[in-house]
Amino acid sequence: MTIGTPLRSKLDTKSDDYLQNLGEMQAMWDEVESLMETVPTIGGQRYVDRHRKRGKMLVRERIEALIDPDTPFLELSALAAWGTQDPIGVGVVQGIGVIEGVECAITGTDMSVKGGAANPTTWKKSQRFHEIARVNRLPLINLNESAGADLPRQADLFIQGGASFKALTRLSKAGIPTITAAFGPNTAGGAYTPGMSDYTIFVKDAATAYLGGPPLVKMAIDEIVDEESLGGADMHSRTSGLSDYLAQDEMDALRIIRQIVRHLQWKKLGPGPTEPADAPLYDPMELLGCASADVRTPFDIREVYARLLDGSRFEEFKALIGEQLVCGWASIHGFPVGVLGNNGILFSEEAKKGAQFIQLCNKMSVPIVFLHNITGFMVGSKAEQGGIIRNGAKMINAVSNSEVPHFNLMVGASYGAGNYGMAGKAYDPRFIFTWPNHRIAVMGPKQLAGVMDIIARNSAAGRGVEVDEEALQAQTAALEAQIEGESTALYSTGRLWDDGIIHPGDSRTVLGIALSAAHSNVVQGATEYGVWRH
C-alpha cells in the first residue's frame, strides 16, 4: 500500500504561458548560478594561486576528497552575505556530506578569502550551521585554517563570536561528535576551534595553534620563539596534546577524519524511509516552470506536488474546505511527510485546517514540508469578524509547538504573518530552501508603499497641510523599490534567512538530503501546545 493517489497535472508544458514563465524563471536561476560560480574563487585568483603554490588544497577540493565517492554534497548558504560588504559566501563552506556512510555537517574555511578571517556574517553562518548539526544530530567536521578575526571589524564580531566555541562543546555534550582537522593557522580565538573539539588532527608542517603569535609573545613577555615550537603540529601532537592525530599531509588528515567517523559506530535515530521512493510521474525539472516567476500570478501548488512527491502520490486532507491551504500526506524519497502548501491567502478555515493537520502530523511523528506561496492572512472586516486573528493564532500555536522536523520550501511569496503560520525562519525549521522567484517581506512592496502613502496623506490631513504630490509619489516609488529589493530571494539568502537558493528541479534531491539528515535525530511529535484560543 502506498500513501495517496497520483495527482493529475493540468499544466500544459508546451503552452506559451508555461514557456514564457519558464524563460523568466530560467533567467532568475541563471543569475543565481552565475553568482554561485564566483564563490569558489571569490577571494581572488591571486590568492587561490598563492594557496595552491603553498601545496595546499582548496577547501572544496578537501571536501571532494573527504566524502564518499559518488555521494551528494549539499552546500548550504553558499551566497551568504550577498548584497553586504562581505564577500559572498564569507570564506566558509558548509554543507551536508556522507563520510564512511555517515551524514556529517562538514565545514571548512577558505584561506583564499581574506586569509580565512572571520567577519560578522561568518559567525552568523557558522552559528546557523552549528544549529543544523545540533538539531539534526549530525557529526560536525571542521576543516580549519584561519587568520582569526577580521580585526578592523572586531566590534561587530568579538562579542557574539564566543558563541561558536560554546556551540562546539554543547554539541559534544549532546553526544554529537566534533572533529577538527587543522590545515593551517588557528590563532587566538581560532585556537579554540580545535580546543573545543572532541577530536583534533594537525597537519604536519602546516597547522599551527597559539593564543598569541611570536610577535605578540615578544611584546607581552619578551620571549623569542619560533612558530613551530610555539604552536606547531608536531609540538601539539607530542608536547601540548592539543592535537590527537598528527597527519603527514592534507590527504592524510582527510583519511584520519574518515577513520574517526568510522569508529564512531554512528547510528541514526530516526525511522528512516519506509515508503516506495519511486520518481514522480512528471519530470521534476518542470518545477522550474511550475511556480510563477511573478509571485503575483497565482498557480496551483498541486502542480508542484505532482513533481515533488514520490509517484506524484498525495492524500489530500480536507480537500473541500479551506481550499487555499492544500494539506495532505505523501512521501519524498520514501520518507513519509505531511505537506502544507498555499494557493494564496490564509483565511480562517485554512488556518484551522492547518492547525489540525499539524497536530495530526505530530501525533504520527511525521515531518512536515511547508511550501510557501502565501500573500498573508486575510484582512478586512469579514475576516476579522470571522476570527482571523483567533484562528491564525491556532496555526501559529501549532507550528510553534510542533516538534516534528519542519522543512520550508519557498516556492513563491511568503508575506506577513503567513510566513509565521507556515513555520518561517523564526519558527526554527530544520532547513529552509528558496526558489529564485521567492519574495519575502511583511507585505508586498506595492502594498507596503501604498500603506505608507495613505498614512502620509492621513498625517498631512491631520496636520492640515497640503500633500506635496510629487514628493510623496517619488517617496512612495522609492520605498516600493527599496522593499522590492529587500524582498528578493538573493536578499533573503544574503541575510541567512534561508539555507540557500536551489534550482527548483533539485527540490526533491535537496529535500531528500534534508529529510535524511533530520532522521539522524529522533523524529518525535509534540504532545503539548499552548492554550488554544477556541
Partner 1 sequence: MAVPTNSVVASGSGSLSTTITRLLIANRGEITARIARTAHRLGISTVGVYSEPDADALHVDAVDIAVALGGSTPAESYLRAEAIIEIALAHGCQAIHPGYGFLAENADVAEQVSAAGLIWVGPTAEQIRTLGDKVAAKKLAIESGVPTAPLFEVSSAADGSVDVPEGIPMPALVKAAAGGGGRGMRVVRTSDELAEAVTAGSREAQSSFGDGTVFVEPFIERARHVEVQIIGDSHGNVVHLGERECSIQRRNQKIVEESPSAGITPETRAAICDGAVALARSVGYEGAGTVEFLVDEAGRPESINFLEVNTRLQVEHPVTEAVTGVDLVELQLRVAAGEALPISQSDVQVDGHAIEVRVVAEDPAAGWLPSTGTITAFELGVDGDLVRIDTGFRADAEVSSDYDSMLAKVIAHGATRVEAAAKLRRALRGSEISGVTTNLAALVEILGESDYLAAHTPTAYLDEHPDVVASVGPTGDDRVGLLLAAVFATERASRAADRVTGFAPSGWRNLRTQGQRQVWSASGSETPDAVEYTVCGAAAEVLLGPWPEPLDDGTLPPDERRRRIVRLLSVTEGGGRTPSRIAIEIDGVRRVVEVHGDEDAVRTRSVAGALTWALAPRFVDHDAEAAGGGPICPLPGTVIAVHVAEGDEVEVGAVLMVVEAMKMEHKITAATDSTVTEIHFDVGSRVDQGDLLVSLEALADD
Q: Which residues bind partner 1 (CB under 8 A)?
A: 36, 39-40, 48-54, 58, 60-61, 64-65, 68-75, 78, 98, 101-103, 204-205, 248, 251-252, 254-255, 258, 268, 273, 277, 333-334, 500, 502-503, 506, 509-510, 512-513, 516
Smallest separation (angstroms) from partner 1 to the CB of 374: 25
Smallest separation (angstroms) from partner 1 to the CB of 95: 8
Q: Report residue 261 CA to chain centroid gap.
A: 24
Taking the least distance from each CB to partner 1, the nearer of 405 and 500 is: 500
3-class DSSP string for 441-502: ECCCHHHHHHHHHHHHHHHHHHHCCCCCHHHHHHHHHHHHHHHHHHCEHHHHHHCCCCCCEC
Taking the least distance from each CB to partner 1, the nearer of 128 and 204 is: 204
Which residues does 48 contact at the CB level (< 8 Å), separation at least 6? 41, 58, 112
> What cell numbers appear for 234 in the block?
608536531
> What cell numbers appear for 31 in the block?
543569475
Angle between helices 507-518 and 120-136 (to 10 degrees): 60
Taking the least distance from each CB to partner 1, the nearer of 196 and 369 is: 369
- 167 half-sphere exposure, CB direction, 13 A CA radius: 23
Q: With residue 50 as reference, give the H or E element that holds it.
A: helix 45-53
Taking the least distance from each CB to partner 1, the nearer of 279 and 319 is: 279
> What cell numbers appear for 473 in the block?
509619489
Smallest separation (angstroms) from partner 1 to the CB of 80: 12
Taking the least distance from each CB to partner 1, the nearer of 190 and 284 is: 284
β-strand partners of 75: 95
Taking the least distance from each CB to partner 1, the nearer of 7 and 66 is: 66
Taking the least distance from each CB to partner 1, the nearer of 53 and 173 is: 53
Q: With residue 232 as reference, give the H or E element that holds it.
A: none
Rounded Cα distance between 517 and 135, Å, is 10
Please tell me whether residue 20 adopts helix, strand or coil conformation. helix
Smallest separation (angstroms) from partner 1 to the CB of 39: 7
> What cell numbers appear for 517 in the block?
539528515
Smallest separation (angstroms) from partner 1 to the CB of 321: 34
Smallest separation (angstroms) from partner 1 to the CB of 252: 6
Which residues does 329 contact at the CB level (< 8 Å), separation at least 6? 3, 4, 314, 315, 317, 336, 337, 338, 339, 366
β-strand partners of 108: 93, 143
DSSP code at position 84: S
Smallest separation (angstroms) from partner 1 to the CB of 248: 5
Asked whether 480 and 233 are in contact (CB, 8 A), the reply is no
Smallest separation (angstroms) from partner 1 to the CB of 64: 6
Taking the least distance from each CB to partner 1, the nearer of 74 and 441 is: 74
Taking the least distance from each CB to partner 1, the nearer of 103 and 453 is: 103
Smallest separation (angstroms) from partner 1 to the CB of 279: 10
Rounded Cα distance between 506 and 490, Å, is 18
Smallest separation (angstroms) from partner 1 to the CB of 332: 9
Please tell me whether residue 416 adopts helix, strand or coil conformation. coil
Rounded Cα distance between 329 and 315, Å, is 5
Taking the least distance from each CB to partner 1, the nearer of 65 and 163 is: 65
